[in-house]
């Protein structure tokens, strides 16, 4: 709607000038239409933002209410913020176990993915060797087999290897799952670097590993950052793998712990909301801080994936 304004306004203005008699009236109505259009346009933007943000705001507001306030349903900001809801979820809900677990799994998975994917991406972008095209093809092929089609087989493999219900089993599954798209994103970054830098490094007596480690990795920092935050989100938000992998509550990450908490001892709603808020607050902080990298990573992944 706002787009049409620059087009329409000049011609209207000219028309107004031509008919001086009704100038004032006509200009008033034109500006009224423009104003109406602007209000409707902004109103729509705000309405959609409200719908996008309302559920999380409602969750956060509910997470610090008493159960009476919650069920009375007239409160937004509670009379006395009940931060002990979080404490109860932390202690009785098992989040003192789940949350550190998630931090551990997500961090190690990201480090593992960065390590393996940056080396692979570098080789696929900058080292010429026979079979490179075949390797690329296989990685692409792996990428198109989605988790829902392979998690039963993955589970069987981990059972056979004695890795089901273990931290190691979960970590290797997370890392392997995150590799293909990360390799493609990082390969893209390495491809974009100028060849001259490499030649200069070779003249200085660098070997391939030096070039990767000292020249290319620092240059690919934006790519590494995008891969890191995207894969952190992925690992933190993973549910399906954690669901099939873990029986032991001591090993569960937050998403799995949250559903365990819901089903096990039917906790009260306000504690449940606090628990959910606790699982999502780190993600909201990460997203707010790193939204540029996240959005870039999502778009690179979508176009390359």
Binding residues for another protein restricted to 17-36, rule: CB under 8 A = none
Write out the two tokens for 249: 């509550």
In the complex with another protein, the residue whose CB is nearer, 24 or 289, is 289
In the complex with another protein, the residue whose CB is nearer, 24 or 150, is 150
Least distance to another protein from the beta carbon of 207, Å? 8
Q: What sign has the CA pseudo-torsion 156, 158, 162, 166?
A: negative
- 227 is an interface residue for another protein by CB under 8 A: no
Q: What is the C-alpha to C-alpha distance for residues 198 and 90, in angstroms, rounded to an integer?
A: 51
- 288 is an interface residue for another protein by CB under 8 A: yes
- 258 is an interface residue for another protein by CB under 8 A: yes
Q: Classify each residue of 241-253 as buried b or exposed e, where b means 16 or more C-beta atoms within 10 Å of its C-beta.
A: bbebbbeeeebbb
Q: Which of 25-33, 81-89, 92-100, 154-162 is the region at the interface with another protein (rule: CB under 8 A)?
A: 154-162
Provide the greatest CA pair distance for the chain. Answer: 90
Task: Say how many C-beta atoms besides its own lie within 10 A of residue 255's C-beta.
Answer: 19
Least distance to another protein from the beta carbon of 97, Å? 16
**Residue of 207, 148, 139 whose CA lies nearest to 179:** 139
- 295 is an interface residue for another protein by CB under 8 A: yes
Among 9, 159, 191, 289, binds another protein (CB under 8 A): 159
**Residue of 113, 110, 180 whose CA lies nearest to 147:** 180
Among 89, 175, 215, 251, binds another protein (CB under 8 A): 175
Build a one-symbol-per-residue string for 78-107: x at contacts with another protein by CB under 8 A, - elsewhere: ------------------------------
Among 89, 109, 110, 173, binds another protein (CB under 8 A): 173
Among 64, 99, 120, 224, binds another protein (CB under 8 A): 120
Number of shown-chain residues binding another protein (CB under 8 A): 97
- 3 is an interface residue for another protein by CB under 8 A: yes
Q: What is the C-alpha to C-alpha distance for residues 40 and 271, in angstroms, rounded to an integer?
A: 40
Among 30, 34, 97, 243, binds another protein (CB under 8 A): 243
- 271 is an interface residue for another protein by CB under 8 A: no
Least distance to another protein from the beta carbon of 151, Å? 8
Write out the two tokens for 10: 């000049």
- 119 is an interface residue for another protein by CB under 8 A: yes
In the complex with another protein, the residue whose CB is nearer, 16 or 143, is 143
């Amino acid at each position: 709607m706002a787009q049409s304004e620059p087009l329409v306004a000049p011609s209207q203005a000219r028309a107004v000038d031509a008919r001086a008699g009704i100038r004032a009236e006509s200009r008033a109505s034109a500006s009224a239409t423009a104003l109406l259009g602007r209000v409707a346009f902004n109103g729509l933007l705000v309405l959609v933002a409200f719908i996008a943000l309302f559920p999380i705001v409602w969750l956060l507001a509910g997470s610090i209410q008493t159960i009476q306030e919650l069920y009375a349903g007239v409160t937004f900001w509670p009379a006395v913020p009940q931060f002990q809801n979080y404490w109860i979820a932390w202690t009785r809900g098992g989040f003192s176990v789940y949350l550190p677990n998630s931090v551990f799994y997500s961090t190690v998975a990201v480090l593992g993915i960065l390590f393996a994917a940056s080396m692979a991406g570098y080789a696929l972008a900058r080292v010429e060797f026979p079979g490179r095209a075949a390797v690329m093809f296989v990685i692409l092929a792996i990428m198109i087999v989605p988790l829902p089609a392979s998690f039963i087989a993955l589970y069987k493999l981990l059972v056979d290897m004695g890795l089901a219900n273990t931290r190691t089993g979960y970590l290797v599954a997370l890392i392997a799952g995150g590799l293909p798209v990360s390799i493609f994103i990082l390969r893209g970054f390495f491809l974009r670097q100028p060849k001259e830098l490499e030649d200069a490094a070779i003249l200085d007596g660098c070997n391939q590993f030096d070039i990767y480690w000292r020249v290319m990795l620092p240059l690919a920092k934006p790519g590494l950052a995008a891969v890191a935050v995207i894969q952190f989100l992925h690992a933190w938000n993973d549910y399906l793998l954690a669901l099939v992998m873990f029986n032991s509550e001591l090993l569960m990450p937050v998403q799995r712990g949250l559903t365990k908490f819901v089903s096990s001892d039917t906790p009260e709603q306000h504690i449940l909301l606090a628990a959910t808020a606790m699982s999502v607050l780190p993600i909201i902080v990460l997203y707010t801080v790193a939204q540029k990298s996240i959005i870039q990573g999502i778009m690179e992944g979508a176009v390359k994936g």
